[in-house]
A and B are shown apart, each in its own frame.
Chain A
Amino acid sequence: MVVISTENMDRFVAELTAGEGVRPDRLLQHLYKIQYRYSCIPDQAIRQLGDALGLAPVQIQAVIDFYSFLHHSPRGDFDILFSDSITDHMDGSRELMHQLCAKLGVRPGEPRPDGRVTVAATSCTGMCDQGPAMLVNGLALIRLDSERVDRVAALVEAGTPLDGWPSEWFMVEDNIRRSDILLERNIAPGDALRALLREGPERLLQQLDDSDLRGRGGAGFMTPLKWEFCRKVPSDIRYVVCNADEGEPGTFKDRVLLQSYADEVIEGMTLGAGIIGGRQGFIYLRGEYRYLLEELEAVLQRRREQGLLGRDILGQPGFDFDIEIHMGAGAYICGEESALLDSLEGRRGIARKRPPFPVTAGYLGKPTVVNNVETLVAAAKIAVLGSEWFRSRGTGDSTGTKLLSVSGDCRYPGIYEYPMGVQIREILEDCGAVDPQAVQVAGAAGKTLPAIEFERCIACEDAATGGSFMVFNRQRDMLDMVRNFSHFFVHESCGFCTPCRVGGSLLKDLVDKVHAGHATEYDLQEMRRIGMTMQNTSHCGLGQTAPNAVLDTLDKFPESYQARLKSTEFVPAFDLDGALSEARSITGRDDAGAHLEEEV
């Protein structure tokens, strides 16, 4: 049992909740701060929070257990999480994790008894262009290799605080490889807000409407329409939320925007507030991007001092809007806008039923617009530069440009901005992909495109994407990707609906069965049936898209499966070796002799 110092914890918790009244909606933010400070949320803190927020301990425990980055038991002085994205795997992250575990004498996921360190894996941390990556106490550490891992082990053993670690390890790079109109630096802080005050909300909304701006998160809903809906709903208060929970494996373009274009992002939010009549905004920042928090807070503060945020913005009486940053805590589902709202309200992130949509009943039941980071930047620039400026790029259905996060088997991974409608082939040439066999567009939830589909285009009407673009060369086994994704979705399913909760698990087990060489043609048919059921009957987008990679590769890379099939006959699911696991645990044996031989 690891024991940690909980010195002054009661005071720490008391200060968090002081002067706020009973605000159960603050729960997640308090938990995040306690976790960050003490590496766990012990019973004492749960009881204290429960008293302050009017919640039962078990209700608080349910929130802790939902979020990957919150823990009831201590993680120790150093909580190390290796990014488990398929691109990190391809860069050797698994081997590096085992190397670190061996050096430190720990097993993955188990805290070392002296309370020094825990080493584990976590879903994609959004550093795919500079991986393998890890998080150390919530901060991103990039470009791991064997030597760096040895040095990490030494620093951990020496107990060196993070500010004594080489600072270049934490210097996350932008890696912008191609820029177009969105990444051009051509608006100054306040420009869009001045345009708003000059033109008025109706005319600006018309301007946005003329631009045909669609949401950049992947779903492609018309942004101006969303704003107009929200604006028209009668309410005393409206909210603007920036969805910075960029969790789709292989996506990292929002990280770059938040790091280097924060003013444009916040300008877009403030513009949105001015148009819909919002008074309060939130940036829901994924926990993996914790390292951006101080810098973002500083930009918010500077903008308040510049009169671009807060009361009477730009001297306009009644134009009041301010922004608070909320931290996510390791839950991919919270990228879904209604789950994000539940999380903002301090609860487990479960996608809501719709209708009602957030524009009518969002945060705390009030009209809310939730927009992707990139959408907000585009909106701010359209307000200044006009709809024709935006429409100068793209296709008829998909105007403007799209930021792509390119990673995997290519020479130049990073951010590429292309006009909508760009061909996959062109991107592959630009990023230096060598002998690619497939591109995974839109992340684990997206589409697997084999070489014969490289003529297809990135656009809402063709290969739609929130920005993830992962390249796989001909040496890769596509089943490794499928396995990675199916494990990812089991880990990230919220568990609310049957098809995603159970179907996802069944699908993962079948993929593993194929991988182990035990599957038959019958199992492949079962995977299709389960996958189709998930696609068509799941409650939200997570479950609906979770089987995509399996279904796509069954069609497009059948050889990855066929090569591993045991026979064409039925093989029972019963796993004889697995059935012996209890006997092994009773006898304390786990050597080769205690296992039945694997037949592959």
Chain B
Amino acid sequence: MSGEKSFRIDGREIPFTEDQTIMDAALAAGEYIPHLCHNPEFTPHGSCRVCVVRHKGRYISSCTQPAMAGMEIENSSEQINDYRKILLQMLFVEGNHVCPGCEKSGACQLQAVAYYVGMLSPRFTHFFPRRELDASHPDIVLDLNRCILCELCVRASRDVDGKNVFVVNGRGIQSHLVVNSPTGKLGDSELTLDDKAVQVCPVGAILSRHQGYEVPIGQRLYDQQPISLVGDVAAAENKEKEHG
């Protein structure tokens, strides 16, 4: 591999190719950088900010920053972990995340990353927003209480499914996901169970119906191993489907 360009994360050498971001190269090299809004199948977004790393004293989101030869990246300092923990705590109080009552528990990336950064409590004052649960679709349920505005469903529906089923509306803390259908209800949208948009939600906001608790709590992806070893839940479920 001589001549290959590389940079360092916490001192470890990471090779990269042209057009790779810090995140791309890190994941390819088996170096975990926590993330929520990033999914390698989609254009990087950079909104959750959980993947911030430090370069030359500045914090940058590794999913959007192109890798450059010779970079010295800090990924696992106490300060970075503290920022990540605060970002997680912000997401937990912004929505209504009740892990014990959530079908996604154990296979939820928000929960898994929270464990990874050592978050023990939500710390901040809960917003307790009133958000809608849309059960109008025969096969899919949309629970906005758990939405973290990663826009993966927006990107998947627009870029892969070509349906634009999901749109972010509002501004600031009022930002929220809306459904593109005549009634605003999921049941009247073009969304179908095999849509990519249904398979990318990192939390329990978009769930397939009729298959609750098929895998018992305790035997789920992140019940077995930490997210730093097994990666994203969407990718793991993809793989499972492919291999039956």
Contact = CB atoms under 8 A, between A and B. Distances in A.
A504 interface: yes
Contact of B173 (A62, A499, A504, A573): A504
Contact of B83 (A61, A355, A496, A533): A533
Interface in A506-541: 506, 509, 526, 529-530, 533, 536-539
13 contacts: A61-B178, A66-B171, A353-B46, A494-B172, A494-B175, A496-B47, A497-B46, A499-B87, A501-B172, A501-B173, A526-B124, A537-B52, A537-B83
A45 B174 CA distance: 24
Given A58-B167, A62-B167, A355-B66, A493 B91 contact: no
Interface in A40-67: 56, 58-59, 61-62, 65-66
Interface size of B as a range:
35 or more
Interface in B89-131: 90-91, 93-94, 124-125, 127
Contacts of A66: 169-171
Given A65-B170, A491-B172, A494-B172, A538 B180 contact: no
Contacts of A498: 47-50, 87, 90-91, 148
A365 to B, nearest CB: 13
Interface in A526-573: 526, 529-530, 533, 536-539, 573
A331 B171 contact: yes
B199 interface: no
A267 interface: no
Contacts of A62: 167-170, 178
A492 interface: yes
B171 A65 contact: yes
Interface of B: 44-50, 52, 59, 61, 64, 66, 83, 86-87, 90-91, 93-94, 124-125, 127, 148-149, 164, 167-175, 178-181, 184
A338 to B, nearest CB: 12
B110 to A, nearest CB: 11
Residue among B64, B86, B124, B171 facing the most chain A CB atoms (10 A cut-off): B171
A89 interface: no
Contacts of B49: 497-499, 537-539
Given A493-B171, A502-B91, A58 B46 contact: no
A503 interface: yes
A61 B179 CA distance: 11
Contacts of A491: 172
A533 B50 CA distance: 11
Contacts of B170: 62, 65-66, 495
Contact of B169 (A61, A494, A499): A61
A490 B172 CA distance: 7
Contacts of B167: 56, 58-59, 62
A526 B148 CA distance: 22
Contacts of A526: 124
Contacts of A501: 94, 149, 172-173, 175
A509 B174 CA distance: 15
Contacts of A214: none
A353 B64 contact: yes
A499 B90 contact: yes
A412 to B, nearest CB: 36
Contacts of A286: none
A537 B171 contact: no
Contacts of B168: 62, 348, 495
A28 to B, nearest CB: 14
A389 to B, nearest CB: 36
Residue among B50, B61, B170, B172 facing the most chain A CB atoms (10 A cut-off): B172
A526 B90 CA distance: 12
Contacts of A61: 169, 178
| A-B interface, 9 closest residue pairs, ranked by CB to CB distance from nearest | A495-B175, A502-B90, A573-B125, A493-B172, A62-B169, A353-B64, A495-B172, A536-B59, A58-B180
B44 A58 contact: no
A497 B48 contact: yes
Nearest to A349: B171
Interface string A346-372: 001000010100000000000000000
A495 B90 contact: no
A423 interface: no
A59 B165 CA distance: 10
A122 interface: no
Contacts of B179: 58
A494 B167 CA distance: 15
A175 interface: no
